[in-house]
Amino acid sequence: MELLTGYGLWPVAIFTVIFILLVDLFHQRQRWTARYPPGPVPLPLLGNLLQVDFRNMQYSLYKLQQQYGDVFTLQMAWKPMVMINGLKAVREVLVNCGEYTADRPKIPIFEHGSLGPKAKGVILAPYGPEWREQRRFSLSTLRNLGLGKKSLEQWVTDEAGHLCDAFADQAGRPFNPSTMLNKAMCNVISSLIFARRFEYEDPYLLQVLKLLEEALSNISAFVPQILNTFPVLLHIPGLYDKVFSGQKNFMFMVDNLLTEHRRTWDPEQPPRDLTDAFLAEVEKAKGNPESSFNDVNLRMVVADLFIAGIVSTSTTLSWALLFMILYPDVQSRVQQEIDDIIGQGRSPEMADQARMPYTNAVIHEVQRFGNISTLNLPIITSQDIEVQGFLIPKGTTLITNLSSVLKDETVWEKPHHFHPEHFLDAQGHFVKHEAFMPFSAGRRACLGEPLARMELFLFFTCLLQRFSFSVPTGQPRPSDHGVFGVLTSPTPYELCALPR
């Protein structure tokens, strides 16, 4: 050290280290230069971190796509990631190459701390026997509990009625609907997982939602992205607990609910909910080290379904109500169809959906244009694959840009506008588009898609049946630009709900 300092060679040493790192990076790419995806030139150590706007990821990736094409490389520090954009490329990766792109890379912030590397669940778990076992269990258990049956439909309809009552209590005054939507969705998923429903002002429900919000804020903040890029920083004493206090508290809440559930579980009785069904599988699996049914996975499966089941549908409905106040002509046409098909004398039913093409088109357009999942969770190639003529080696992390599919300029008539006619033919019949991919596709497609579709139709039609929504008098027209986080949510807004 003294020798370097004394002769002024310290800058030379730093330059040499950086040069060696860059040579190694370019050497790794050398094998693929002719067919490896292009991308912006990375900076030493930082890669392309400074060339991506994390506050407006959707637009930032759109500009890069315009410059480098549908398949391009970004260097996150020293780790390359290949971005997949547009319908053709995304389908090629998720469907055509699905067997080799279903695995997950390790995500350092989820491998550390309160979760740990043994926690699998169904969302972040590596592709393999354990993941398949947990996904099969979750799908079959949800079906057994009523998914696709009249029993669960009635459950959702009843909750929609409670939500409408809560809206009516506002007596036409301006309010932000997001909190009430979160409460309603929390009750639906809580009923499936814990066989329990909460009153909207129940302190426990408010605490659950507060912890959930804190956990999601922790994950989507800038610092966690830095920790993922430079995971060595996670070993700084006390840093993880400070940065991820919300996530830690949320998992503590899940643990308390599971402890309470175990006390009341009767293995001799039919399962009340998904947790009971999982506990029964844990009992069967005792002594089998190959089984994925254990207490660690129980808390992760519950947390996965709890988070995904609440936030995604609630955020989509928040977009739906925003579009209704921004486009009152669309709202009026939906209400006319509700009046013609359902009337005011009964609640909507899933059987009505087939006879309501315009309402169905509006819900699909809300999902397309609202675009809550801008980016899919990362996947990793388990062998060399070819995408759009590019050769992508085994072990490469891929990010599929769902926004680029839902707003693909080569596919949609008006990709950057709210336009329900995207899902209607010339005769006004509903048509589903192959580029409609809000739940992703392939082996990692959202397992809660059937439940989400039921919730969106029943809640949306119940609300539009009972209320007309408008921008509060004196307030400016809300923005239709989203706020990027774990999900893309609307900029906070208020509305008035007037009984029809």
Tokens read off for 363:
């819900």
* Residue 192 and residue 273 in contact, taking contact as beta carbons nearer than 8 Å: yes
Residues 6+ apart with CB under 8 A from 100: 381, 382, 383, 385
Q: Is the dihedral of CA 180, 185, 186, 187 positive or negative?
A: positive
Which of 123, 113, 39, 31 is CA-nearest to residue 79?
39
446 is in an annotated binding site: yes
Which of 311, 377, 299 is CA-nearest to residue 134?
299
Q: For residues 467 and 496, give the distance between their C-alpha atoms in angstroms, rounded to a whole number.
A: 9
Tokens read off for 442:
């392939």
Residues 6+ apart with CB under 8 A from 438: 367, 368, 371, 372, 373, 402, 406
Which of 320, 311, 366, 365 is CA-nearest to residue 487?
311
* Residue 306 and residue 255 in contact, taking contact as beta carbons nearer than 8 Å: no
Residue 392: phi and psi, rounded to 5, are -115, 120
* Residue 174 and residue 475 in contact, taking contact as beta carbons nearer than 8 Å: yes
Residues making up the binding site for heme: 446
Binding residues: 446
